[in-house]
Structure 1
């Protein structure tokens, strides 16, 4: 029997958001959901292409007051620190030293999850309600269609109920006015 590292044995109350910065040798992209560590499987090429496509479009459209961050954790509470594929954050949340390991939910304007085979349940059922309860105003869920292109499901926060309301389903072109005007040709994935 092979010994496991001490960090793989959770405390009785579960791991906390701060533990992600203290635990040694965690695998890349480890998330914290409900006090449990979540290890992510290797991603398919589609996942990577979609992230590059959306990241480039968001960077082009973002005003000076906003920054785009890729694969950075977001502290939603004591026992939740997921890692969205992309986030839009307030520029003031990024220090000049760029040493952040994550961001606070109140600084996030948009969380984006690109669904993969191993993340379907987390990206559709577990993370969106957590993002909504934390007050993140916009959420996009990206799925792959039968042609190998992204379909973006656009959600906005309904603050009274702390839930997301679907406002659009974007095939071929992602064109929204919130959180600022964004227009991304989703078919460009064919040329990547």
Structure 2
């Protein structure tokens, strides 16, 4: 076994929020932290990235002055043990743009685009984590075999800290919550 084949030591031990916060942006790219352990995310496909970009552009345009939509940054779900997720799309309070880390109370909506290899995480694990963190809305984009994306929407039940099923959209999202938005996902 060569030295290049051995994973770095930090991949085998639980890390703290303080340790993670000292890492560079390059070190944090492409990973999430779950219960203090580094989870490496595989590179997304072009279709995945395009779906996320179309979603973020549509949500950002519809969100109004109080909310921003963006992608590729951490949401700190809990400090101990450290859990940082990097949703495909995040709608967050505009007045928190310079606050780091982004916390669940800053977030209105997270969107995950399901890819091969992320099915269980996006359909089960993240749904539970985002709900327990109190994020009001969760949307899941499925890349259907027909080529027409399906968007499943969920609304938080704050007392139960679980999501209730919302509307399901095929191809075009025409939602009224958390704000009115129409996004055509057919023209990828």
Contact kept? 2:12, 2:37, Cα under 8 Å: no
Instruction: Assess if the C-alpha contact under 8 Å between 2:151 and 2:173 holds in 1.
Output: yes
After superposition, give the CA deviation of every residue in 1:106-157 in whole Å (9 maximum; x if it has no partner). Answer: 0000011111112111111111111001110000011111222221100000
- The structure-2 alpha-carbon separation of the partners of 1:169 and 1:107, relative to structure 1 and needing over 3 Å to count, comes to same
Q: 5 Å matches for 1:48-67?
A: 48-67=49-68
Separation in structure 1 between the aligned mates of residue 70 and residue 101 of structure 2, nearest angstrom: 10
1:19 aligns with 2:22: no
Q: Post-superposition shift, 1:22?
A: 2.2
Write the deviation string for residues 86-118 of structure 1: whole angstroms up to 9, x where unpaired: 1000011112xxxx6641110000011111112
Q: Structure 1, residues 19-77: CA drift from partner, whole Å, max 9, x if none?
A: 33324663622101122111011111210110111111112111100011201110111
Quick check: 1:74 aligned with 2:91? no
With the length of structure 2 as denominator, give the TM-score of the two structures. 0.89
What is the rounded CA distance, in whole Å, between the counterparts of 1:69 and 1:46 in structure 2? 17
Secondary structure at the aligned position of 2:177 is classed as coil
Structure 1 residue ranges without an equivalent (≥5) = none
The equivalent of 1:128 in structure 2 is: 127
Distance 2:183 2:140 in 1: 15
Question: 2: CA distance between counterparts of 1:62 and 1:156?
Answer: 17
Aligned pair count reads 182
- After superposition, residues 73-152 of structure 1 pair within 5 angstroms as 73-78=74-79, 79-95=82-98, 102-152=101-151
TM-score calculated relative to the size of structure 1: 0.88
RMSD: 1.7
